[in-house]
A = this chain, B = another copy of it.
């Protein structure tokens, strides 16, 4: 049985649980996720942080159900962390005791710095690499900040600003200016920080990003690694802060979030206003992934190996049986790229995406051989989620979709144009992948041909017949000013 680990996160607003399965040394997938909006801190902030009886009972019921789910997956261990709401609660011992005594669940209350660090290692390891970014995780009771530079994390700060907290202390009494003053005062702790990007973690940032994506008719349905810009984001926050419930609905905010979105938007607005950096990145991962990664990567300083991508590995682990062929295809596509990319006018930077597309393009055949292209396409779109930009994901999934087929359709190219390379580059890359597959039609143990580029001709030489390869190459779309010639 593969190693399975469950993570439970008790936040002020909701409790969440994830069951992860390790697919190899540094790769994993989610088996199950569950969330319950129990709002453990309900009415606590007006009562000196004291957790209320009903809220505690709801939370215990949800946790009890979580444990049944975890046991149904036979998880090897359960890591349960609690944050701000429990940190602040004078009666936390009572709750911890009940969880331990009645449910057998050991809850670890983590301090604000640790909470910030854990969210940040999720971002540092699972988002495309950033030079100097500030992560911000707005929770129900607190907000965490860290500086992420490449894979390094510093300045972990936790402020007692949170959506539920501000709602109960200020917004419920319509004292918005009081909230603003408190936020600005607390944010002074972030003075003298120099950053170029803001990474947004947590439900508030995700909800606003989602609304913004819909508003922009963004072609992908993926929040993680979504990139937006100061001006549009900031304008959107202003709209949210000015809207009544009807207005929020029109902006695309779900009704369950109506009562906490404004406090969250206000915190964000003040942060953006303070830093005015142009680039914003949405994170789909946070504390829970951080808790899991801190466990998974405990012997490697909370980092993946260099040049390692965990999503590529996971897809290979779960869906590619024939790894020799996958590697051979990737190797050949890189060789073909290296000798042709100048002639074909393809930017050198796309070499990596071509190689990954070659590695993963057969992954869909684990679903259905004949429709493997569409399954590879959807699988890559969804599961190639960590460490890649949306442009990279779109290019790689597009190449897989059209592998060994005609060039990407104009409908497809039109839909994703803001994320794809130029048409000529895309067709060139698509051709190189299809050509690699065609040349390996007979699946030789070792590549049994050589090739050479001269002017318009790529000449392929072999002592074998390459019968199927020739037949397959004949069926390819042709590229202008580029011919394949077999000599033997």
Residues of chain A touching chain B, judged by Cβ–Cβ distance below 8 Å, are 29-34, 36-37, 58, 61-62, 64-65, 68-69, 71-73, 318-319, 321-322, 324-325, 365-371, 374-375, 378-379, 382-383, 441-445, 465, 467-468, 471
Cα separation A467 to B63 with both chains bound (whole Å): 9
**Given A31-B369, A379-B367, A382-B371, A467-B73 contact (CB < 8 Å):** no
* A370 proximity list for chain B (CB < 8 A): 30, 33, 382
Q: Are B468 and A34 within 8 A (Cβ)?
A: yes
Chain B nearest Cβ from A405, distance in angstroms: 14
* A34 proximity list for chain B (CB < 8 A): 441, 468
Chain B nearest Cβ from A319, distance in angstroms: 8
Taking a contact as CB atoms closer than 8 A, the residue among B72, B73, B443, B471 that contacts A72 in the complex is B443
Q: Are A64 and B369 within 8 A (Cβ)?
A: no
* A319 proximity list for chain B (CB < 8 A): 367
Taking a contact as CB atoms closer than 8 A, the residue among B37, B371, B468 that contacts A62 in the complex is B468
* A62 proximity list for chain B (CB < 8 A): 467-468
Chain B nearest Cβ from A65, distance in angstroms: 4
Taking a contact as CB atoms closer than 8 A, the residue among B36, B73, B367 that contacts A367 in the complex is B367
Chain B nearest Cβ from A396, distance in angstroms: 15
Taking a contact as CB atoms closer than 8 A, the residue among B61, B322, B374 that contacts A465 in the complex is B61
Q: Are B375 and A382 within 8 A (Cβ)?
A: yes
Q: Are A322 and B36 within 8 A (Cβ)?
A: no
Q: Are A33 and B68 within 8 A (Cβ)?
A: no
Cα separation A73 to B445 with both chains bound (whole Å): 11
CB closest residue in chain B, given A469: B65
Of A318, A319, A465, most buried by chain B (CB within 10 Å of CB) is: A465
Cα separation A471 to B34 with both chains bound (whole Å): 11
Chain B nearest Cβ from A103, distance in angstroms: 12
Taking a contact as CB atoms closer than 8 A, the residue among B324, B371, B378, B465 that contacts A375 in the complex is B378
Taking a contact as CB atoms closer than 8 A, the residue among B29, B368, B441 that contacts A369 in the complex is B29
Cα separation A61 to B469 with both chains bound (whole Å): 11
* A37 proximity list for chain B (CB < 8 A): 471
* A368 proximity list for chain B (CB < 8 A): 379, 382-383
Cα separation A29 to B441 with both chains bound (whole Å): 20
Chain B nearest Cβ from A384, distance in angstroms: 10
**Given A69-B442, A72-B443, A442-B69, A64-B367 contact (CB < 8 Å):** no
Q: Are B378 and A31 within 8 A (Cβ)?
A: no
Q: Are B374 and A378 within 8 A (Cβ)?
A: yes
Q: Are A441 and B73 within 8 A (Cβ)?
A: no
**Given A72-B443, A367-B367, A367-B383, A65-B468 contact (CB < 8 Å):** yes
Chain B nearest Cβ from A366, distance in angstroms: 7
Chain B nearest Cβ from A363, distance in angstroms: 9
**Given A375-B378, A467-B58, A33-B64 contact (CB < 8 Å):** no
Q: Are B369 and A33 within 8 A (Cβ)?
A: yes
Cα separation A237 to B119 with both chains bound (whole Å): 65
Taking a contact as CB atoms closer than 8 A, the residue among B31, B325, B379 that contacts A365 in the complex is B31
Cα separation A321 to B32 with both chains bound (whole Å): 12
Chain B nearest Cβ from A89, distance in angstroms: 21
A-B contact pairs, 11 of them (CB 8 A): A30-B370, A36-B468, A61-B467, A64-B467, A65-B465, A367-B382, A368-B382, A368-B383, A371-B378, A371-B382, A374-B378
Q: Are A467 and B378 within 8 A (Cβ)?
A: no
**Given A61-B465, A69-B443, A471-B33 contact (CB < 8 Å):** no
Cα separation A69 to B322 with both chains bound (whole Å): 12
Taking a contact as CB atoms closer than 8 A, the residue among B31, B64, B369, B471 that contacts A30 in the complex is B369
Q: Are B318 and A444 within 8 A (Cβ)?
A: no
* A382 proximity list for chain B (CB < 8 A): 367-368, 370-371, 375
Cα separation A355 to B85 with both chains bound (whole Å): 43
Taking a contact as CB atoms closer than 8 A, the residue among B33, B68, B318, B471 that contacts A442 in the complex is B68
Cα separation A371 to B381 with both chains bound (whole Å): 10
CB closest residue in chain B, given A379: B367
Cα separation A442 to B67 with both chains bound (whole Å): 8
Cα separation A325 to B321 with both chains bound (whole Å): 26
Of A36, A73, A368, A379, most buried by chain B (CB within 10 Å of CB) is: A368
Given A37-B471, A61-B467, A375-B378; 14 other pairs, CB 8 A cutoff:
A30-B370, A31-B369, A33-B369, A36-B467, A61-B465, A68-B443, A68-B444, A69-B443, A72-B445, A318-B366, A367-B375, A367-B379, A367-B382, A371-B378
